[in-house]
Amino acid sequence: MRRTRWLSALVAATLVAGGMVAAGGAASAQTVTTDLTITSPSDGDTVSGSTLTVEGTFANASELVLVVGAQEFVPIPVTGTAGTWSVDLDVSDIDGRLDLAVRGRDLTTLYTTWSEFLAVNVHRPAAARPVVTIVSPRKAPMQDRRWTWWSMWTLTEPCRPWRSV
């Protein structure tokens, strides 16, 4: 047996014999599961109004944040390490799909954990983007212009040296 393996085996046997390392058996700690869920609204729901109330539950988590549309982070005030939460969102300027998820810190591993992602359709026609069509002035088609080697250097013509005369 190599010297390092022999030394490692000797140290391990000493620790096990001294009771410093458990040699098997049932774990003494209780297993705790971390859970983050959004209970209302459900995935695919259509909502209307200027305020959306998002509710959910959490267990073995802290530092909860509601992620709205992957751009806005709304802190969720909670007390304790398990319970329910509720947040009111202003959706007065949204019309269409809104993605929601909850992010929190797992108190067992201290890693970030996420809830399931869900999409809600917000129906607010007043917040819809307008459709704009420009009808005047009309721009002349590009094929009607003649290109010369000096016209690509003027400020009024775009620089397109690859175009033939």
For the chain, where are the alpha helices, taking DSSP H only? 3-18
Nearest CA to 76 out of 86, 68, 61 is that of: 86
Average pLDDT over residues 83-91: 93
Closest among 57, 86, 92, 61 to 74, alpha carbons compared: 86
Model confidence pLDDT, tens digit, residues 20-34: 445 454 444 567 888
Annotated domain spans of the chain: 36-127
Residue 75 pLDDT exceeds 90: yes
Answer whether 75's CB lies under 8 Å from 145's CB: no
**Average pLDDT score over the chain:** 77
Report pLDDT digits (tens) over 104-159: 999 999 999 999 999 999 988 777 777 777 777 766 555 555 555 555 555 555 55
Bridge-based pairing state of the strands 96-106 and 61-68:
antiparallel
Is the pLDDT confidence value at 1 over 50? no
Task: Summarize the confidence of residues 59-68 as an average pLDDT.
Answer: 93
Which CATH fold would you assign to the domain 36-127?
Immunoglobulin-like (2.60.40)
Tell me the average pLDDT across 50-59: 93
State the CB neighbour count (10 A cutoff) for residue 45: 13
13 or 116, greater pLDDT: 116
Where does the pLDDT of residue 39 fall: very low under 50, low under 70, confident under 90, or very high at 90 and above? very high
